[in-house]
Structures are given as C-alpha cells and as structure tokens.
Amino acid sequence: MAVYKRSYKAYQGELTREWSRWTIIPRYGLRGAFRSKFMTAFLVASFFFPLLCLCAIYLRYNFSLLEKINLFGVQRLEIGGAFYWWFVKIQSFFTFLLATFLGPPLISKDLSNNALPLYFCRPFSRVEYIFGKFSVIAGVLSFITWVPGLILFLVQSALAESGWMRANLWIAWSLFAGSCVWIVILALLALALSAWVRWRVAAGALMLGVFFLGAGFAQAINTVLRTDRGYYFDIGSMAGRVWSGLFGTEPQIAMTQLDAWIGLAAVAVVCVLLLDRKVRAFEVVK
C-alpha cells in the first residue's frame, strides 16, 4: 500500500442509493452459505425431482420415444392440478431441509458475535436487515419450488394442445401462491429460531422439532381430546391443506381452508414478533 495512503483520509466519493442497500445482506449471505460443499450438493440434489417431472412431461407428448423405450404408462399420466400438487408437496420436503440448513446461522451468527450494533449504527434499518436475511432463504427456496414449477408449466403449455395454458392458468397461480406461502413460513420460522437460539446447531434441531414434534403433538391432541383442533400445531398439515385448496385436490386433514390460512398467518405473525423482539442493537433488560 502506498505510504501516502496510510494517513487518515475521509471518503469523498458517491454513495449508493438507500433503497438498494438491503441487497448487500443476501449477497454476503449467499456467498457464506454456498461456501459449504454440502449445501451446494444438496441444492443440486433438489433439482432431481423437477428434472424427473420435466422428463415425464416430455415423454408424455413424444409417443415415438415412448414406443422405442416401451414406457406407455407415462402416456396415461394426467398432467393437471394433481400433478403440480405432487410437485409442490415433494419439493416442499427439500425446501424444508434446505431452510433447516440455511436459516439457523443467518441471524445467530450476528447475535452470538454481537454484530447487530454495527449493522444498526449505520443508515440501515432493522426491517432492511430482516428483509435481507429473509431474501437469502426465500431466494434459494424459490429456485427449487415455483421457478422450476413454472418452467414445467410452460413446457407443458408448449407441448399440450392449444388452449391448455389459458384453461389452466390457475395452476400457475396455485404453484406460485402455494410455494410462496410455504417459503414465507419456512423463512420466517428459520429466522425467528435463529434469532432466539444463538447456537446454530440447536436452532437447526429446533426447526426439525417444530415440524416433527409439532405433528406428533397435533396427533396426540386430536386423539386424546377427540378433536381436529390439534392440526393448528402441525404447520406441515396446515400448509398441505392450503395446497389442497389451491390445486383442487382431496384434503388430507379435517380442517377448513380458511382455518389453515389463519393458522399459517398466526405462525407468521408470531415469528415476526419474535424477530422484532430479538433483532435489536441492544437488548434492554428491565
């Protein structure tokens, strides 16, 4: 470094626009997350099922190829709401695991290193911080849910008879809305647990616990109290009920769609409140 630069000089250059600064967080967040080879490998593995679906759609409309490989079963494959419902359902499992790996270190790392005062002493708000962290998870999960889902939808539209796309636009909407609901819930939950449990391993374990123990608890309540209200503790089942409503498939739990939406909204609100309480420069102990 040049000697003349070793004395202190104030920065005189231009500043970036304020609205764009939240994008710094996902840029650094994604760089940090995909430094892990496991994470990269898992993301690649998450594309396996969309690729399989793509092949199925292609084969469905290519009879000559079906004849050659003697795979006429695919011809009977009905590509409609149920097909995409399965797609969302299976991808939701991958998104859940990915959020479990990706989410916990995002805020816990800053909290355990007491770095939040350094973020918030700058022209950078708590909302921008949380939105930036949220977008790290939401971006990656979108990449394996509604983005490939809509690509499948477009491929199907291109291969199917004319008018199919217009008649089935609701599927595209359902794909997008259903995936977004799941992504929002997973991202908020992962961030809230990351903020409350500063140890990333514990936060990851808690994330698994919320879903699996929550499902078990819901079943126990339903069985013991002979009610269906226990499903309010089962986030996965509530999301499944929302997807059933969106894709027009048979619901798997005895819960109205409105109740499922309300349940998921309540989970989201609780997560936001937890984040609001924890993501502060300094915690005031009263």
Partner 1 sequence: MSAVIELENLGVRFGTRDILRNLTCSLQGRTIGLLGPNGAGKSTLINTLLGFYPPCAGTARVFGFDIRTQMRQIRTLVGYMPENDSFISDMTAVAFVRLMAELSGLPSEAALERAHESLFYVGLGEARYRKLGTYSQGMKQLAKLAQAIAHGPKLLILDEPTNALDPPARQRMIRLIKEMRDSLAMHLVVCSHLLKDVEDSCEEVVILRNGELVNYSNLEEERRSNRRFLEMEAVGANEEFVEAIESLGCECAMTGDRRIKIVLADSIEVRDIYRLAAEREIQIRRLSYRRDSLEDIFLKAMDSVPVVKPEPRPEVVSGRL
Question: Binding to partner 1 by residue 4, rule CB under 8 A?
Answer: no
Find the part of the chain contacting partner 1 (CB under 8 A) among 44-52, 115-123, 241-249, 267-275.
115-123
Which CB sits closer to partner 1, 12 or 70?
12
* Distance, CA of 101 to chain centre: 12
Min separation Cβ 35 and partner 1, Å: 9
Do 243 and 88 form a contact (C-beta atoms < 8 A)? yes
Residues 6+ apart with CB under 8 A from 182: 88, 92, 95, 141, 145, 239
Question: Binding to partner 1 by residue 37, rule CB under 8 A?
Answer: no
Min separation Cβ 199 and partner 1, Å: 14
Which CB sits closer to partner 1, 224 or 285?
285
Rounded Cα distance between 225 and 269, Å, is: 27
Min separation Cβ 183 and partner 1, Å: 25
Min separation Cβ 249 and partner 1, Å: 44
Find the part of the chain contacting partner 1 (CB under 8 A) among 15-23, 40-48, 176-184, 263-271.
15-23
Do 62 and 149 form a contact (C-beta atoms < 8 A)? no
Rounded Cα distance between 114 and 168, Å, is: 50
Rounded Cα distance between 223 and 217, Å, is: 10
Question: Binding to partner 1 by residue 38, rule CB under 8 A?
Answer: no
Do 194 and 200 form a contact (C-beta atoms < 8 A)? yes
> How many CB atoms sit inside 10 A of residue 272's CB?
14
Min separation Cβ 123 and partner 1, Å: 5
- Pure H helices in 70-199: 81-102, 104-112, 116-120, 126-144, 146-159, 164-167, 169-196
Question: Binding to partner 1 by residue 14, rule CB under 8 A?
Answer: yes
Which CB sits closer to partner 1, 58 or 126?
126
Residues in 72-111 at the binding interface with partner 1, rule: CB under 8 A: 109-110
Do 57 and 156 form a contact (C-beta atoms < 8 A)? yes
Which CB sits closer to partner 1, 120 or 131?
120
Report how many helices (DSSP H) and strands (DSSP E) the chain contains, helices first: 14, 0
Do 160 and 77 form a contact (C-beta atoms < 8 A)? no
- Select from 36, 40, 75, 114 the one that contacts partner 1 (CB under 8 A): 114
Question: Binding to partner 1 by residue 18, rule CB under 8 A?
Answer: yes
Rounded Cα distance between 180 and 184, Å, is: 6
What H or E segment, with its residue span, contains residue 275?
helix 257-278
Find the part of the chain contacting partner 1 (CB under 8 A) among 3-11, 64-72, 181-189, 229-237.
3-11
Min separation Cβ 17 and partner 1, Å: 9
Binding characters for partner 1, 119-158, by CB under 8 A (x = yes): xxxxxxx---------------------------------
Compute how many residues bind partner 1; rule: CB under 8 A.
38
Q: Which residues bind partner 1 (CB under 8 A)?
A: 1, 5-16, 18, 21, 24, 28, 32, 109-110, 113-115, 117-125, 280-282, 284-286
